[in-house]
C-alpha cells in the first residue's frame, strides 16, 4: 500500500493575508502546482483523499479529486499545529483499506510525521525535506511502514510533468555520476550506465587515443524516471 503525503502548494505569504489563516487560498503558482500533482496522481490508484480543513490544503488536492471522481475529506488530525502521531494514526486507518491514498497537510505536521517514521521503521532514500508542493511516498509492507521516497515540487522536475512517472533523486544522482568523466591510472575514461559501446564513449575513446586526455565537451546528465 502506498500513501502520498503532500504538503499544500504555494499560497502566498501569511503576513500578506488579512483574513483568517485557514481561509488563505492558493496563489496562481499554487494552482499550477496542484494541477501538475493531479496529473501524476490520477494514475496512482488512489481511492481516498484526506486533507487538513485549511482552504489551501483542500484546494491543493481538489484538482486530483476532480480527476478521480473522489471527494476530498477533511480531518482535524492534519491541521496545522497537530502532531505527527495524530497524522500517523490517520495513515494507519487508511492503510487498512489496502488501496493507495493521499494526505495533504502542513509544514509542521509532515516533518514531525517523517521524523517519527525515520526513528522507528521506515528507510528513507533522501534527506528529510518538505517544501510546499513536495510529496513523500510511504510504503506499507506486511505490518509496518518500510520505505519513504521524496518527490520535489513540480517546478523542480526539469520541464517534465509526472504523468505516469516520478523522478527518483537517488537514481538521478547515479545517472549524473556515471555520465561525467573521472580519472583513472590509465588516463581519462568515460563512465556510462550502458558500458563502453555508446556513441559518447567512442568519442571520448577517440580523443584519448590522440592526446591522452579527452577534449572538453558539455556533458548533460540524463534524468532517469522510474514508475511512481
- pLDDT, tens digit, for every residue of 32-56? 999 999 998 999 999 999 999 999 9
Model confidence, pTM: 0.70
In this structure, the chain runs to a length of 228
79 and 185 fall within a common domain: no
133 and 106 fall within a common domain: yes
68 and 45 fall within a common domain: yes
Q: Which 8-state DSSP code applies to residue 6?
A: E
First to last CA, the chain: 13
Q: Is residue 42 part of a domain?
A: yes
Can you tell me the distance from the alpha carbon of 212 to that of 17, in angstroms, rounded to the nearest whole number? 63
- What pLDDT sits at residue 69? 96
Can you tell me the distance from the alpha carbon of 44 to that of 161, in angstroms, rounded to the nearest whole number? 14
Please indicate whether residue 4 or residue 225 has the higher confidence score (pLDDT).
4
Q: Taking residues 58-77, what's their average pLDDT?
A: 97
The number of folded domains in the chain is 2
User: By residue range, what is the domain housing residue 104?
Assistant: 2-157
What are the phi and psi torsion angles at 218 (to 5°)?
A: -75, 125
Q: Tally the C-alpha atoms within 13 A of residue 33's C-alpha that lie toward its C-beta.
A: 28
Q: Is residue 137 part of a domain?
A: yes
Residue among 73, 78, 108 nearest 91 (CA): 78
- What pLDDT sits at residue 40? 86
Q: Which of 157, 186, 206 is the last residue of a domain?
A: 157
Q: Which helix (H) or strand (E) holds 117?
A: helix 109-119
Q: Is residue 164 part of a domain?
A: no
Residue 167 reports pLDDT greater than 90 = no
Q: Is residue 162 part of a domain?
A: no
8 A C-beta contact, residue 189 and residue 182:
yes
Q: Taking residues 190-214, what's their average pLDDT?
A: 38
Amino acid at each position: 500500500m502506498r500513501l502520498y503525503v503532500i504538503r499544500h502548494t504555494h499560497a502566498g505569504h501569511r503576513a500578506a493575508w488579512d483574513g483568517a489563516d485557514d481561509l488563505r487560498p492558493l496563489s496562481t503558482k499554487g494552482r499550477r502546482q496542484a494541477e501538475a500533482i493531479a496529473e501524476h496522481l490520477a494514475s496512482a490508484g488512489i481511492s481516498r483523499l484526506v486533507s487538513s480543513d485549511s482552504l489551501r490544503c483542500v484546494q491543493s488536492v481538489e484538482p486530483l479529486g476532480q480527476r478521480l471522481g473522489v471527494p476530498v475529506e477533511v480531518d482535524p488530525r492534519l491541521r496545522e499545529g497537530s502532531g505527527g502521531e495524530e497524522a500517523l494514526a490517520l495513515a494507519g486507518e487508511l492503510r487498512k483499506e489496502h488501496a493507495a491514498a493521499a494526505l495533504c497537510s502542513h509544514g509542521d505536521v509532515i516533518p514531525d510525521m517523517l521524523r517519527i517514521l525515520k526513528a522507528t521503521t521506515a528507510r528513507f532514500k533522501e534527506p528529510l525535506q518538505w517544501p510546499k508542493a513536495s510529496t513523500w511516498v510511504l510504503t506499507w509492507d506486511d505490518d509496518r511502514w518500510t520505505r519513504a521516497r521524496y518527490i520535489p515540487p513540480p517546478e523542480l522536475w526539469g520541464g517534465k510533468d509526472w504523468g505516469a512517472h516520478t523522478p527518483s533523486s537517488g537514481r538521478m544522482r547515479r545517472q549524473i555520476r556515471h555520465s561525467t568523466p573521472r580519472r583513472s591510472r590509465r588516463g581519462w575514461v568515460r563512465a556510462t550506465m550502458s558500458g563502453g559501446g555508446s556513441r559518447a564513449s567512442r568519442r571520448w575513446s577517440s580523443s584519448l587515443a590522440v592526446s591522452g586526455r579527452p577534449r572538453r565537451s558539455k556533458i548533460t546528465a540524463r534524468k532517469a524516471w522510474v514508475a511512481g
